[in-house]
Structure 1
């Protein structure tokens, strides 16, 4: 049985700089200092790649002309489940988690073009990290998905 209708469709970006470090932002709404890569929900009529570019700009201030698409994740959709404490509250209780399409992109600009003080800020801080540290700084319920993202893009990291 397919349960995709229980999961919000989203897209995410693993953004690399010249040193092959990964961009992460610390969520403004999480007291556990949880970090994540740019990601968000697909709007009606929008394809996943357009969502990824839109979310990247909305969350980081990075315009699409400063990124190059390297590769799409080999697994079309990666899923995570929300913890029980969030299932009834996040997204109006409509979904139990997300199923996401992930894209690996190269940042071609410089750090001055990153501005997390956006119209609706999601992050309080940002940094570049070595990819192997990603699972250690992500909220626990997303760790398996982040490990799968790392596996999928491993030849580029």
Structure 2
């Protein structure tokens, strides 16, 4: 579902990592944002990136910052960017950007589960789990759902 925007600079470049379980294609890594109720705030690791740098290296930097490891094998990148708008003026990046434009990367985790930790230098998450792609898409905040369903379909993880 390609979305065209006249002012691409109004959207922060962002990379989102869909990380498959090391031995199963029916489970993906899902993280819970701290300061959210447990039934809210679940998402894939994602973050802003410098467009002058290599996208995969930037994704791995984000993974180290958010889940303490970049032990992933890249399987596929999204063919396009996905856009979403921030939900309200209270969003901290809202002053500079209208939303985010995301490149999605499908990866397989190749490390040990003990390598995954959300107890990082500047924690963004307070919990993580393996979840089905359908559960992941259902658990996402409303303003990101369209992107999650579209990218998971593109990667063949849901119908």
TM-score (norm 1): 0.88
Deviation at 1:44, TM superposition (A): 5.7
Q: Give the structure with the larger helix fraction.
A: 1
Partner of 2:81: 77
Deviation at 1:105, TM superposition (A): 0.5
Equivalent residue for 2:46, pick from 6, 31, 39: 39
Deviation at 1:92, TM superposition (A): 5.5
CA distance in 1, matches of 2:157, 2:44: 19
Partner of 1:22: 28
Equivalent residue for 1:62, pick from 56, 60, 69: 69
CA RMSD across the alignment: 1.9
How big is each residue's C-alpha offset from its partner over 1:56-78, in whole Å with a ceiling of 9 and x where there is no partner? Answer: 11100113xx211101112x211
Deviation at 1:85, TM superposition (A): 4.2
CA contact 1:10–1:48 (8 Å) conserved in 2 = no
Structure 1, unpaired ranges of 5+: none
How many residues align? The count is 152
Structure 2, unpaired ranges of 5+: none
Where 2:60 maps in the other structure, the secondary structure is helix
1:111 aligns with 2:107: no
Deviation at 1:50, TM superposition (A): 1.7
Which segment drifts farther, 104-113 or 31-40? 31-40
